[in-house]
Structures are given as structure tokens and as C-alpha cells.
């Protein structure tokens, strides 16, 4: 095949599927799916879990602070906080720093839910990494961190 000839379709796909970006994306999708399935029984989606975790770590937080911290769309954050509030996992109260705003605070029930979801996420990640021995897991995590920071 001449250098200017296009790759055969099967060759192009095989090449694509060996790219680090492709493999990382597929592994991430599998990991997300495992965690999403694990926490679904708790009535949460991945983004709900992230909002709940951010509020637990930094609350009380204004919704605008949640948007900045998580990088989610503001309208989506409002919907997620509404869901979490209806479930009794967070409350909105006047922001002690600015009474014109509301701040979101995790409830004791929300903390319990967050602990259960963290355990379920850990178990899902154990399944994800099951093919690797402990040293390989440490190496993978180190390499992923370096690529992420790079």
C-alpha cells in the first residue's frame, strides 16, 4: 500500500482502539458505569453524589460556589440540589456570609448516604481493578495521576 493510500477500515479501527486516549476513555466509561450502578440503589446518580460530596466537604456552600467547584452547569446544579433537598440529604438556608444568597448544607441523613455511596464506589472500583495485583494498582494510580497533572 502506498503511503498516501488510506488505511483499510479494519486497520483504522484497530489503530484507534490502541490509542491511549481511547483506552483511557473506555476504562473511564466502565468505571463510571460500575459506580453509577452501585450508587443507583441509594437513589443517586454520579453528579448527585459529587454535589453531595462537595457540600459535605465545604458546606455550607452557595450554589454558585458549587458550580465553580464542580464545573457543572448552573441550571443542572439547581436541579441536583432540588433532588437532594427533596430526599432530605441537604438543606438550603440563608448564607451566613451573604443573607441575599442561600447556602446548601448536608444533613445527617446526607452524611449517612454519602458514607454508603463512598463504600459502594470503593467496591465498584475494586471490581474495576480486579485484574491487577496491588503493585500494578499502585503503578496505575501513579501513572494516571501524572498524566492527569501533565
At 2, the pLDDT band (50, 70, 90 cuts) reads: low
Residues near 42 by beta carbon (within 8 Å), at least 6 away in sequence: 113, 116, 117, 120
pLDDT over threshold 70, residue 125: yes
Q: Is CATH 3.60.21.10 the right assignment for the domain spanning 43-149?
A: no
Q: Which burial class, exposed, middle or buried, applies to 103 when counting CB atoms under 10 A from its CB (0-12, 13-18, 19+)?
A: buried
Cα separation of 135 and 144, whole Å? 14
| DSSP line for 79-114 | HHHHHHHHTTSEEEEEETTEEEEEEEEE-HHHHHHH
In this prediction, residue 121 carries a pLDDT of: 96
Q: Domain ranges for the chain, please list them.
A: 43-149
Mean pLDDT across the stretch 81-99? 90
At 100, the pLDDT band (50, 70, 90 cuts) reads: confident
In this prediction, residue 99 carries a pLDDT of: 78
Q: Is the dihedral of CA 16, 17, 23, 27 positive or negative?
A: positive
pLDDT over 90, % of the chain: 76
pTM: 0.80
pLDDT over 70, % of the chain: 93
Backbone angles phi, psi at 64, to 5 degrees: -60, -35
Amino acid at each position: 500500500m502506498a503511503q498516501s493510500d488510506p488505511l483499510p477500515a479494519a486497520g483504522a479501527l484497530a489503530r484507534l482502539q490502541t490509542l491511549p486516549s481511547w483506552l483511557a476513555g473506555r476504562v473511564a466509561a466502565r468505571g463510571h458505569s460500575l459506580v453509577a450502578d452501585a450508587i443507583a440503589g441509594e437513589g443517586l446518580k454520579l453528579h448527585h453524589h459529587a454535589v453531595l460530596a462537595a457540600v459535605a466537604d465545604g458546606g455550607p456552600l452557595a450554589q454558585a460556589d458549587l458550580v465553580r467547584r464542580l464545573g457543572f452547569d448552573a441550571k443542572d446544579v439547581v436541579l441536583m440540589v432540588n433532588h437532594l433537598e427533596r430526599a432530605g440529604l441537604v438543606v438550603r438556608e440563608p448564607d451566613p456570609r451573604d443573607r441575599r444568597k442561600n447556602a446548601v448544607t448536608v444533613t445527617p441523613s446526607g452524611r449517612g448516604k454519602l458514607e454508603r455511596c463512598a463504600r459502594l464506589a470503593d467496591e465498584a472500583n475494586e471490581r474495576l481493578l480486579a485484574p491487577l495485583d496491588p503493585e500494578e494498582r499502585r503503578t496505575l494510580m501513579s501513572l494516571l495521576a501524572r498524566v492527569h497533572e501533565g
